[in-house]
A and B are shown apart, each in its own frame.
Chain A
Amino acid sequence: MEFEPVLLRHIAVPGIQNLEVYQAHGGYNALHQALELSPEQVVQMVKESGLRGRGGAGFPTGIKWGFLPKDHPGPIYLCVNADESEPGTFCNRVLMEGDPHQVLEGTIISAYAIRARVAYIYLRYEYGKSYRVLQRAIDELYKNGFLGRNILGKAGFDLDIYIHRGAGAYICGEETGLIESLEGKRAWPRIKPPFPAVQGLFQKPTIVNNVETLACVKHIVERGPTWFRSMGVPPDPNNPRDLGSFGPKLYCLSGHVNQPGCYELPLGIPARELIEKYGGGVWQGRRAKAIIPGGLSMGFMTAEELDTPLDFNGPMRVGCLGLGTAAVIVIDDRTSMVDVLYNSCRFFAHESCGQCTPCREGTAWMAKILARIRRGQGYLDDLDILLEIANGIGIIPGTTICGLADGAAWPVKTAITKFRAEFEEYIRNSRSRQASILAPLTTH
């Protein structure tokens, strides 16, 4: 059966950003449907759908909502994570700019389900167009009774949506960094527990969800959990902790590929198929050396691993951190992995919030080592030091507060274990012709 896109279905419809056009294409029917149900019923639908968060961690959305304290007097907050800073990721932007009402409809339904009366959209500052488009759509919604008091005549259902523009930090996408930032503080992720669902924004129960996650909620309400579960990959019977990967997913394809872009496909498409069938293959007739399966943080897959299905588990089976944001970056065979890894390390060192010693110092040290290797002054045992640092930092070993450090570690771990020969050769060669290879580089 041919897959039919839902999230991007109306993205090309002229004027879909306007409420009228959106409604003419069935927009806000899901909201009407949801308001016929009790909030608990909506939560139940989302639980049954098996929807997992699209922001990177893949946490089951319905289960997260279920962590909210029962019968809380409020306020409960909904935060829409639109900070989209993971390198290679741009699907939230496509949704917000192209079909803002879809995002807002999902947000309103979700707010209804979790009994939030205020939702904050935490928007990456650089997304100026998203801001303007979303704000216009929100204004329209207020005018037409979709926001404000007693929404669509439903007594007691009130909702205000505010857009908060970030100030350009990757860490503001981490959910508790986001919350701190919203509170007007420095975005230093919080220690957990308490989890945001219990004590989040302004010390109140809070749910943070990604833009795409919330857009999916709209379709789950409209088409039902069974429809959602009809796409994707069921749980691996041999892995009791696998919850399956259901529904459509926006894959962001970029890098050395002929047709980069945002593709909506059922979860679990193999990387090779995505690149060949949808991306038109690696550019300039070259071959892929490596790909990043889901944003830089997930680490690298080799050309030999391209048949790995891009569901929540697939990348893990080949040593990657996970599916992440499903942002696939293709790296062709003429690219130096030293350069790639240097860029990766520089990014994470720049974005570490500086709170945890292992992340603050470890990311910066790795960046310094990579810069030096790249300058031609590396030593072979630098690779062991890099691996030792990478193995030691992150929430997986337990040495940091948030997952940024894991994201910084995984590219290093996977690059050095999977491409060690290339690094060693680079170091050997560059040391023998050091003078010629001294590139005018600065450590950050």
Chain B
Amino acid sequence: MATITVNGKDIEIGDQENLNLIQAAARAGVAIPHYCWHPALSVVASCRMCLVEVGERKPEGSIVMQPRLLPACQTPARHGTVVVTNSQKVRAAQAAVLEYLLLNHPLDCPVCDQAGECWLQDYSYKYGRARSRLRDEKLLRPDKDYIGEQIVLFTDRCVMCTRCVRFTREISGTGELEVISRGDHAEIDIFPGRPCNNKLAGNVVDLCPVGALCSRDFLYKHRVWFLRSQKSVCPHCATGCSIWIDYNKNIVYRLRPRYNPQANGHFMCDDGRFGYSHVNNKQRLLYPLAHSGDNLVPVSWADLKNEIREHLLNLAKAGQDHTLVVVLSPWLTLEESWLAIQWINTVCPQAKFAHGPLRDAGADDIYPKGPRGEPCLPDRAKFIIRGEKAPNCRGIDILLRHQQNPPLTWQEVLEAVEQGTLQHLYFVGGDPLYKASDVELVRLRQARSLIVSDIFPNGLETLARWVIPGTTFAEKNGTYINSRGLAQALYQAVQPPDGIWPEARFFWELLELAGLYHAPTVRRQIAAAIPELSPLDLDDLGEHGILLTPGALAS
């Protein structure tokens, strides 16, 4: 153990922890303001916001302070290190840095997206001076809307922390961003004609501590102090990035990565970050439909429930030539799928189970790449966008195998339906981007009956006897298991459109269970039933989720 003294208070840190003074002070509950330092990036110690007084406690107890200020981000915490963050000298240095940073800053907070979550605002309020002493003109530097498809640069607001530049060099590896010019004319820019359009580009907006790099998607959409944040998991690939869903009044405004060392680290990809528009999309299925004559007509949820139950009970009695196959999408939560399986078992025990369709996006996309797109060696990977474009393949597979080993593949379902060996299909979808192909439609036309549940019309509804609206990830409570076996909980941020029963509720009601659907209760039932999932026997999976096989991170 190493003892560090922060503002007179002793704290213990592990010998091998390699903390800098910002991290060590945080353990003592002392926040050291900082801009350029970020735990995932190299240390440049250039913003000088984190200056502190540093000394050493000698073995006999006396303390020797160093005469000059030191950047806390660059100074390692060692046994006997003494840090002072609140002396007159430190406060003067903090106030000076903030005055400097505001010299050429346009102070356009009223029209700045960052206002409310801006480190310049917050630090100025806490550590700065009330007024600037600049009597001279400010520099004016034009905004740059050519920086990237997803990002814009408000050049004047930049504090030159170079986090964005280091991100594109060290994490994405694509190196599009750079600093041009010297002195106070220094600006972030791109090489002409090489905009920052890599798949991780959106992260520079989060990294930017001020309102310089802004997201085009979010630009001028909402004041951040109206936003509420809910913990969730990105559904767009098997990495399963931990995220915040930022929403207000039932509208999702943006997604942001939530730090998770077991999944995504500090970042997320742009497919995920900007892949929430379907949540707000009004073109989705809004109420259940049933086939009547040649048309689909709305039915009530109560009627739907009864009709489907009756249909399945009939199939159960009808025997061999009326085999039902239940297709469960890898976008469903563990709980939804489990409830579906339980109900099917009660009404139609001979039904078969199959994996739903998975869009193929080829190989994993691994970062950092080279500046010319050279591939990253797997052992150097800092971020992986999985080729497996669904959040819960692993979880669904475990459930299905527990029920029927092996489960059918989607391809096998298509073939069996075409050949007539499977005659009835219950398709529970969830992939907002899934559209049935012509080949799929031709084959599935052979089915004698088809029940489709999905968020959007996916093409199958033209063949369906019942069409059931589904819900998006932002509307669900439940659990996903990513490709590394990390189980994470998602929490509902917004309500589905009026009247829609989320999948879990629908099966809950079909099972005629008492009370309301409660994800942790169902999860614990699953954990009790399936040994492989026994680590999930918890009410709360915690900030970072639960690894099914602890220590199995390297995969």
Chain A: residues with CB nearer than 8 A to chain B?
A: 169, 171, 186, 188, 191, 349-358, 360-365, 368-369, 371-372, 379, 382, 385, 388, 392, 395-401, 443
Find the B residue at minimum CB distance from A362: B100
| Contact (Cβ within 8 A) A353 B74 | no
A293 to chain B, nearest CB (A): 24
Question: With the chains together, A378 CA to B68 CA distance in Å?
Answer: 32
Distance in angstroms between the alpha carbons of A238 and B254 in the assembled complex: 67
* Chain B residues positioned under 8 Å from A365 (CB to CB): 100, 103, 134, 136
Closest approach, in angstroms, between the C-beta of B75 and any C-beta of chain A?
10
CA A161 to CA B459, docked complex, whole Å: 71
Q: Closest CB of chain B to A77's CB: distance in Å?
A: 22
Which listed residue (B96, B100, B135, B160) contacts A354, Cβ 8 A? B160
Give min CB distance, B87 to chain A, whole Å: 13
Asked whether, in the complex, the Cβ of A360 is within 8 Å of the Cβ of B96, the reply is no
Q: How far is the CA of A392 from the CA of B74 in the complex (A)?
A: 19
Most buried by A among B137, B159, B186: B186
The reply to whether the CB of B8 lies closer than 8 angstroms to some CB of chain A is no
> Could you write out 30 A-B pairs with CB less than 8 Å apart?
A186-B179, A191-B43, A191-B45, A191-B71, A349-B183, A349-B184, A350-B182, A351-B182, A351-B183, A352-B182, A352-B183, A354-B160, A354-B183, A355-B46, A356-B47, A357-B49, A357-B97, A357-B159, A358-B97, A360-B100, A364-B103, A368-B136, A368-B137, A369-B135, A369-B136, A392-B93, A398-B51, A398-B68, A399-B97, A400-B48
Q: How far is the CA of A351 from the CA of B178 in the complex (A)?
A: 19
Which applies to chain B's interface (DSSP): helix, strand, loop or mixed? loop
Minimum distance in angstroms from B44 CB to a CB of chain A: 7
Chain A nearest Cβ from B131, distance in angstroms: 13
Q: Most chain-B Cβ atoms within 10 A of its Cβ — which of A186, A357, A362, A395?
A: A357
Residues in A neighbouring B45, C-beta threshold 8 A: 191, 401
Q: Are A361 and B69 in contact (CB under 8 A)?
A: no
**Contact among B69, B133, B186 with A360 in the assembled complex (CB-CB below 8 Å):** B186
Q: A364: which B residues are within 8 A, CB to CB? A: 103, 183-184
Are B101 and A357 in contact, with the CB atoms below 8 A?
A: yes
Bound Cα distance A372, B92 (Å): 26
Answer whether residue B181 sits at the interface, using C-beta atoms and an 8 A cutoff: yes
Measured as residues with beta carbon below 8 angstroms from the partner, the interface class of chain B is 35 or more
**Which residue of B74, B96, B133, B178 contacts A358 across the interface (Cβ within 8 Å)?**
B96
A398 to B69, CA, bound (A): 5
8 more A-B residue pairs beyond the given contacts A357-B101, A361-B184, with a C-beta to C-beta distance below 8 A: A186-B178, A191-B71, A350-B183, A354-B186, A368-B137, A372-B136, A399-B69, A399-B96
Interface flag for B172 (CB, 8 Å): no
With A and B bound together, what is the CA distance between A400 and B46 in angstroms? 7
B185 beta carbon closer than 8 Å to chain A? yes
Task: State the CA gap A28–B68 with chains docked (Å).
Answer: 45
- Name the distance in Å between B459's Cβ and chain A's nearest Cβ: 53
CB distance from A395 to the nearest CB of B (A): 7
Which residues of the other chain, A, contact B136 by a CB distance below 8 angstroms?
365, 368-369, 371-372, 443
Interface string of B168-189 (1 = CB under 8 A from A): 0000000000110111111000
Closest 7 CB pairs of A and B: A398-B68, A354-B186, A361-B100, A398-B69, A364-B184, A368-B136, A352-B183
Which B residues are closer than 8 A to A by beta carbons? 43-49, 51, 68-71, 74, 92-93, 96-97, 100-101, 103-104, 133-137, 159-160, 178-179, 181-186
CA distance A350 to B185 in the complex (A): 9
Rounded to whole Å, the gap between the CB of A315 and the closest CB of chain B is 21
Chain A residues near B185: list those with CB within 8 A.
354
Residues of A close to B135: CB separation below 8 A? 369, 372, 379, 382
**Bound-state Cα–Cα, A188 to B97, Å:** 19
- Give chain B residues whose Cβ lies under 8 Å from the Cβ of A399: 48, 51, 69, 93, 96-97
Report whether B160 and A355 are in contact in the complex, using a CB–CB cutoff of 8 Å: yes
Q: Which residue of B lies closest to A398 (CB)?
A: B68
Give the chain B neighbours of A353 by CB distance below 8 A: 182-183, 186
Provide the bound-state CA to CA distance between A360 and B69, in Å.
18
Please give me the residue from chain A that is nearest to B95 by CB atom: A392
Contacts of B101 in A (CB 8 A): 357, 361
In contact, A361 and B93 (Cβ under 8 angstroms)? no
Shortest beta-carbon distance from A43 to chain B in Å: 30
B68 touches A354 (CB 8 A): no
B residues within 8 A CB of A372? 135-136
Contacts of A395 in B (CB 8 A): 68
Q: Tell me the bound Cα distance from A277 to B291 in angstroms.
A: 111
Complex contact A354–B184 (CB within 8 A): yes
Residues of A within 8 A of B100 (CB): 357-358, 360-362, 365
Are A392 and B183 in contact (CB-based, < 8 A)? no
Report Cα–Cα, A395/B46, bound state, in Å. 12
Q: How far is the CB of B553 from chain A (nearest CB, A)?
A: 29
Q: Which residue of B lies closest to A371 (CB)?
A: B136
**Cα separation A365 to B46 with both chains bound (whole Å):** 18
Once bound together, how far apart are the Cα atoms of A382 and B68, in whole Å? Answer: 26
List the B side residues contacting A443 at CB < 8 Å. Answer: 136-137
Once the chains bind, are B69 and A354 in contact (CB under 8 Å)?
no
- In the assembled complex, which residues on chain A have CB atoms less than 8 Å from the CB atom of B51? 398-399
Q: Report whether A357 and B160 are in contact in the complex, using a CB–CB cutoff of 8 Å.
A: yes
Measured between beta carbons, the chain B residues less than 8 angstroms from A351 are 182-183
Is the beta-carbon distance between B47 and A357 smaller than 8 angstroms?
yes
Q: Which residue of B lies closest to A400 (CB)?
A: B48
A351 CA / B185 CA spacing, docked (Å): 11
Contact across chains for A360 and B74 when beta carbons are under 8 A apart: no
Residues of chain A within 8 A of B44, CB atoms compared: 191, 355
Instruction: Say whether B46 contacts A356, CB under 8 Å.
Output: yes
| Residues on B with beta carbons closer than 8 Å to the beta carbon of A362 | 100
What is the CA–CA distance of A365 and B160 in the complex, to the nearest angstrom?
16
Within the complex, the shortest CB–CB distance from A344 to chain B, in Å, comes to 14
Roughly how many angstroms separate A188 CA and B9 CA in the complex, as a whole number? 37
A133 → chain B, closest Cβ, in Å? 30
- Bound-state CA distance A171–B183 (Å) is 11
Whether B96 lies near A392 (C-beta < 8 A) is yes
* Assembled-state Cα–Cα distance A362/B101 (Å): 10
Q: A365 CA to B44 CA in the complex, in Å? A: 23
List residues of chain B with CB within 8 A of the CB of A397.
Answer: 68-69, 93
- Which residue on chain A has the smallest CB distance to residue B185? A354
Say yes or no: A354 contacts B179, CB within 8 Å: yes
Chain A residues whose CB sits within 8 angstroms of the CB of B47 once the complex forms: 356-357
Inside 8 A of B74's CB, which chain A residues have their CB? Answer: 191
Q: How far is the CA of A353 from the CA of B162 in the complex (A)?
A: 13
Residue of B nearest to A353 (CB): B182
CA distance A354 to B137 in the complex (A): 19
Q: How distant is B150 from chain A, measured CB to nearest CB, in Å?
A: 25
> A192 — nearest CB in chain B belongs to which residue?
B74
A361-B103, A398-B51, A443-B136 known; A169 and B43 CB under 8 Å?
no
Point out the residues of chain B lying under 8 angstroms from A355, CB to CB: 44, 46, 160
Q: Smallest CB-CB separation from A372: which chain B residue?
A: B136
A360 to B182, CA, bound (A): 8
A72 to B186, CA, bound (A): 39
Nearest to B52 among chain A residues (CB) is A398
**Residues of chain B within 8 A of A400, CB atoms compared:** 48
B555 to chain A, nearest CB (A): 31
Q: Once the chains bind, are A358 and B103 in contact (CB under 8 Å)?
A: no
The residue in chain A whose Cβ has the minimal distance to the Cβ of B49 is: A357
A401 neighbours in B (Cβ, 8 Å) = 45-46
- Inter-chain contact B182/A354, CB cutoff 8 Å: yes
- In Å, the complex CA distance between A353 and B183 comes to 5
Chain A residues within 8 Å of B96, by CB: 358, 388, 392, 399
Q: Tell me whether A357 and B48 are in contact (CB under 8 A).
A: yes
Q: How far is the CA of A400 from the CA of B44 in the complex (A)?
A: 11
Report Cα–Cα, A229/B134, bound state, in Å: 51
Determine how close the nearest CB of chain A comes to the CB of B481; give it in whole angstroms. 41
B73 to chain A, nearest CB (A): 10
Report the minimal beta-carbon distance from A357 to chain B, rounded to whole angstroms. 5
- Give bound CA distance, A441 to B240, whole Å: 59
